[in-house]
């Protein structure tokens, strides 16, 4: 009697998504909002493993697992189920998610996890990453999932489904800070006054040749969700002020719908020093020195 071969465990990182810019252009008749955003990815990430074969299962562990909610409602499961509707006989398996990123934090943690799950299922089933069924499953799972499917810096438009080619942006030394508060994206959009965006919108820089050029373009832009998020969670203003006070901080801004904020620094050493100072001053905050690209 021959035993079945042991299935190899597959692994993928699910990096934090950071909205360097986020412009809300208009509210559509269907209730969704048209956006324009320059998205980069951080080295900070969740980790997802898949043991192919058997029923679809998910175990969530790690420092922020307790904030992630019921595993059955996780976007990892939703993404795979969307793909299963489109591909008959899809090989599934058991996922183990090591949750390290804060939840409901504006860095697309759940969306990046879902995208990593789709990449893992694609590998297990020999599906090309440019298969349109993979993108469709990502789109139907959540607005941020398509940009996380191939996590490289891009311009993101529409409601998240219109993506530029990868941009190859210069690396940016950064500090990510979350004050350990969750923010509802729905509630933030409910507070948004679209006339806030009546000022001319700077173009998303699709081609930059230097870090200084990128920083100048990002600084000229904005995140239109920052003010409405601060009305819901005033601590976001405290985070931005604390980042801006750090030596070497060249820009402090909120990512996505919050509450995670980022500071851009002239060097990794400045970012590391700032992160140590912030963590010491605010031990209850989630603080990470990282690189965005």
Residue in 46, 113, 144, 224 annotated catalytic: 144
Under a CB-based contact definition with an 8 Å cutoff, are residues 180 and 286 in contact? yes
Q: What is the rounded CA–CA span in Å between residue 192 and residue 189?
A: 5
**Does the active-site annotation cover 17?**
yes
Rg (C-alpha) for the chain, rounded Å, is: 19
35: alpha, beta or left, given left = phi > 0 and alpha = psi -120 to 50?
Answer: beta
Query: What is the pairing mode between strands 162-163 and 172-178?
Result: unpaired
Q: What is the rounded CA–CA span in Å between residue 51 and residue 39?
A: 31
Under a CB-based contact definition with an 8 Å cutoff, are residues 267 and 274 in contact? no
The beta strand positions in 227-269, using DSSP E, are 249-254, 261-265
**Does the active-site annotation cover 144?**
yes
Residue in 17, 78, 99, 233 annotated catalytic: 17
Residues with catalytic function: 17, 144
């Amino acid at each position: 009697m021959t035993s079945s071969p042991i299935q190899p465990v597959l692994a993928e990182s699910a990096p934090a998504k950071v909205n360097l810019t986020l412009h809300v252009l208009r509210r559509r008749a269907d209730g969704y909002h048209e956006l324009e955003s320059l998205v980069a990815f951080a080295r900070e990430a969740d980790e997802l493993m898949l043991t192919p074969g058997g029923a679809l299962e998910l175990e969530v562990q790690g420092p922020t697992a307790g904030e992630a909610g019921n595993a059955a409602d996780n976007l990892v499961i939703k993404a795979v189920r969307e793909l299963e509707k489109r591909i008959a006989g899809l090989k599934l398996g058991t996922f183990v998610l090591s949750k390290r990123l804060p939840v409901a934090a504006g860095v697309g943690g759940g969306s990046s996890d879902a995208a990593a799950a789709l990449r893992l299922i694609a590998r297990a089933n020999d599906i090309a990453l440019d298969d349109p069924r993979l993108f469709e499953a990502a789109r139907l799972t959540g607005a941020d999932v398509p940009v996380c499917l191939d996590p490289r810096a891009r311009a993101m438009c529409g409601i998240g489904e219109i993506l530029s080619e990868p941009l190859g942006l210069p690396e940016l030394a950064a500090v990510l800070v979350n004050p350990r508060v969750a923010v509802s994206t729905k509630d933030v959009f409910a507070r948004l006054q679209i006339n806030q965006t009546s000022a001319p919108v700077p173009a998303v820089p699709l081609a930059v040749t230097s870090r200084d050029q990128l920083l100048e373009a990002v600084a000229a832009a904005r995140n239109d969700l920052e003010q409405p998020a601060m009305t819901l969670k005033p601590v976001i203003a405290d985070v931005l002020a604390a980042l801006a006070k750090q030596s070497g901080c060249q820009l402090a801004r909120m990512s996505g719908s919050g509450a995670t904020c980022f500071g851009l620094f002239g060097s990794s050493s400045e970012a590391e020093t700032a992160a140590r100072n912030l963590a010491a001053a605010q031990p209850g905050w989630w603080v990470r020195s990282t690189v965005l690209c």
